[in-house]
Structure 1
Amino acid sequence: MPDGSTCFGTDYPAATTSTRAALTVGLVDAKPQRLRLTRLSHPTQTAKPARVWGNATQFLKDNAMLFKTKIIVPETHRGLLFKDEQFVEILPAGVHTFYGWKNQYRVQQFAVTGSAQTFVPEDVVSLADLHADKFAAHLQRWETGEQEVGLLYQDNVLKDIKPPAQRGACWQGQRSIEVRKLDISTDFKLPKALASQLLTAKDATLRAAALNALVMATIPEGHTGFLEVDGEQREILTAGTHVWWQFNHTIKVTQLDCRL
């Protein structure tokens, strides 16, 4: 081997200028007949092809954590999953992971206590109209006609009053929720038992609903009452307490003292 040494390359014999330009970069050593060269590349060498991923989503899962969305739904909640602002499904309690572009997934959470006072917003009720099959197991829906009143019961205990021509929903929970409807098209006077229950209600929500839904008149002994509905005389009232649904009607009661 000549006195000149070679590092990280190959010891070549004398090379032409074109060869040096195409293949190598080097420095001339002490002997002008030989070159000390370090090989960089060959013009005919084929670059190693990049690895092609057949599943781009899998690639993102393995290599791009910023596209991972983790959602935790508490035990007392349910989540509405949206992808690109389009409803997908209702998520139960638990940990849920999604992969996609930034802000592609969104979850709207609601408390689900099974209480009659936990109402579902109107926009969610409208969404349930479009996806009835996906919401059926999660919502207790109700709707009253123009001549109907709804009595909302939780575990067979009266909790609220629903006016005519209204609709809504409650989240299904461990408690039983039921809406019983009453026809008030012809008879809008309350039975004594129901009237007494509403007038003496201790639950704040039920008491407030009763004040907005009822008209009450108390006729003392020795007096006579006259019921007027929508400007027409309807009935003569005896002494006692009388209660009517005030929906859809204008109710007025006058009294006459009949004592001598």
Structure 2
Amino acid sequence: MWKTFYIKPNEIGILYHRSDFKKILQPGTYTYFGQHWQVKTYDLNQPEAKIDNLELLLRNNSSELQQYLLVVRTAFNQTALVRVGQNWVSVLPNQLRAFWRGFIDVKSHIFDLNESLELPADFVQQIRGSTLYGIKKFQISESEIGLLYVQNNFVRSLSPGEYAFWAVDRDVTVRNLSRIVPNPGFPSEDVLIDRHPEFVAAYCEIVQLQNQQVAIVRDRGKVISILPPSSRKLFWQGVEVEVIDISNDAKLPANLVTELVLNAPEIVRNFLHIREVPAQHIGLLYINQEFQTLLQPGIHAWWIFGRSWQTEAIDLRLQTMEVSGQDILSKDKVPLRLNLTAGFRIVDPLKAKNSLSDVAAFLYKELQFALRAAVGERTLDALLEDKGAIDRSVAEYIRQKTAEYGIEFDSVGVKDIILPGEIKTILSKVVEAEKAAQANVVRRREETAATRSMLNTAKVMEDNPVALRLKELEVLERIAEKIDRIQVNGSLDSILTELIRINRE
């Protein structure tokens, strides 16, 4: 019995007899006698030869198979790259893989992972567009430096460029750090400083401080960081570091106040105690709860490390305090509501602060006491007759009370005395009656004076005819003002006579 097999031009075949390998068949037609022949064909467009029992076939027929196959075998610490035409295939450790020769150009390259996980630069360029299993690729731009980590352990720095690493049984990562940012946030800074001094020396500026030192770090003249005592930190080379000893004097000079407090408030917020003392104020400085000195108007700042800071600004200007709505009984039991205002100034801030925990509360309470005492010992009539008595009494009391606390009162005065409604009504009636009586007295006094004046005038006219004639003319003038025209017939005497007669009728 004959068997015929046809191998296509793009195929290759393996001839078996009773499952035993016999030979490789090139494209063409083949005829064999017997029924136990069989041929397995492979498409050469698929360059990898996925042959069953490849290990066994190579053991017994290695020389013949390797004429047609590129065999790639890797050990536990090896990998391989196989170029198949324009494509690449990665081969991982402990693998056996084969690729057909001739139809497509194939080449292999073995890599020893014990020597290096990094692929040479020429391979990196060749596999640029390929995604290969087991290989990680990284790009470092010209403004960056890369830090290579294997199993989270730092290995070395990477300059700008393209890199590829075998990441088969180990984790390979690259952390890109910007060279533009002076402090890019170095990972595990202490480890880099202690375990990799060569990297620190090549690229970094290390700042390491004692327990009474702070540092100001500047980049191109601009403050970028403040370092507290007993700290250390990495920066790229090129930064300027100013180390300041704060063991004796923690106050910032004027130039640093301007640079840090006014120009970089966000950076120094957690490192400085800042107090602005306004004009017409005085500041008090306490360190560890003990008074240190007075502060003149301006901005003051201190390094906070190792000390407790407290500052307060005291207003030296004349201040006003209102004591309103005080309900007090007068000596004759009349309920009154009074509003008091006082003007004071602090002349000795240190004495006032050290003696009184709350200056405003103390003054308010003492003014209340003084006002109640002044009102309670006087009747309503006495209060209404002499309101200034309350002012004088309260002023004398409060000045004596506050002199020992460094507080000076400039003025004290009652603004309002508010009476109850019924008392207002009664007082209104009393005032009305008093004013009505005064009006009657004035009216009678005026009537008496008018009568006396008339009698005097009559006596003058009786003794002086000319005066009487002038008076008559005055009366005639008044009458003439009330009529449009007067016709005079006869002499002036006849006119006056007729007027007198008409008046009598």
TM-score for both structures, normalised by structure 1: 0.66
1:245-256 alignment to 2 at 5 Å? 245-254=303-312
| C-alpha distance 6-148 of structure 1, shift in aligned 2 (>3 A) | closer
Q: For 2:251 and 2:260, locate their aligned partners in 1 and report how far apart those are by CA, in whole Å.
A: 13
Q: Match for 1:212 among 256, 260, 270?
A: 270
Q: For 1:6 and 1:194, locate their aligned partners in 2 and report how far apart those are by CA, in whole Å.
A: 100
Q: Match for 2:180 among 114, 135, 139?
A: 114
- Quote the residue 1:47 is aligned against: 60
The Cα offsets for residues 180-219 of structure 1, whole Å up to 9 and x where unpaired, read as 1101011101111111222220xxxx32122322223344
Unaligned runs of 5+ in 1: 9-20, 24-35, 41-45
Q: Is the 8 A contact 2:212 2:229 kept in 1?
A: yes
Q: For 1:251 and 1:211, locate their aligned partners in 2 and report how far apart those are by CA, in whole Å.
A: 14
- Quote the residue 2:261 is aligned against: 199
1:140-159 alignment to 2 at 5 Å? 140-159=205-224
Which has the larger share of helix? 2
Q: Is the 8 A contact 2:287 2:310 kept in 1?
A: yes
Q: Is the partner of 2:191 in helix, strand or coil?
A: helix
| C-alpha distance 55-135 of structure 1, shift in aligned 2 (>3 A) | farther
Identity %: 24
Q: Is the 8 A contact 2:3 2:34 kept in 1?
A: yes
Q: Is the 8 A contact 2:147 2:157 kept in 1?
A: yes
- Quote the residue 1:237 is aligned against: 295
- Quote the residue 2:203 is aligned against: 138
The Cα offsets for residues 88-132 of structure 1, whole Å up to 9 and x where unpaired, read as 211121111223x525241232331332353324x2442342112
The Cα offsets for residues 143-173 of structure 1, whole Å up to 9 and x where unpaired, read as 222211110110233233222222222345x
1:7-156 alignment to 2 at 5 Å? 47-49=60-62, 56=75, 60-62=80-82, 64=91, 66-99=133-166, 102=168, 104-116=170-182, 118-121=184-187, 123-156=188-221
| C-alpha distance 115-146 of structure 1, shift in aligned 2 (>3 A) | same
Q: Is the 8 A contact 2:200 2:206 kept in 1?
A: no
Kindly tell me the number of residue pairs found equivalent between the two proteins.
218
Q: Between the two structures, name the one with larger relative contact order (CA 8 Å, sep ≥ 6).
A: 1
Q: Is the 8 A contact 1:190 1:245 kept in 2?
A: yes
Q: Is the 8 A contact 2:285 2:292 kept in 1?
A: yes
Q: Match for 1:187 among 213, 235, 249?
A: 249
Structure whose alpha-carbon radius of gyration is higher: 2
* 153-162 or 217-226, larger mean C-alpha shift: 217-226
Q: For 1:111 and 1:223, locate their aligned partners in 2 and report how far apart those are by CA, in whole Å.
A: 50
* 231-240 or 178-187, larger mean C-alpha shift: 231-240
Q: Is the partner of 1:199 in helix, strand or coil?
A: helix
Unaligned runs of 5+ in 2: 6-17, 21-32, 38-58, 83-89, 92-131, 317-345, 348-407, 409-505
- Aligned CA-pair RMSD: 3.7
Q: For 1:116 and 1:86, locate their aligned partners in 2 and report how far apart those are by CA, in whole Å.
A: 23
Q: Is the partner of 1:118 in helix, strand or coil?
A: coil
The Cα offsets for residues 33-70 of structure 1, whole Å up to 9 and x where unpaired, read as xxx67999xxxxx9344789898577613462534332
Q: For 2:198 and 2:146, locate their aligned partners in 1 and report how far apart those are by CA, in whole Å.
A: 16
Q: Is the 8 A contact 1:147 1:184 kept in 2?
A: yes
Q: For 2:198 and 2:262, locate their aligned partners in 1 and report how far apart those are by CA, in whole Å.
A: 40
| C-alpha distance 66-151 of structure 1, shift in aligned 2 (>3 A) | same
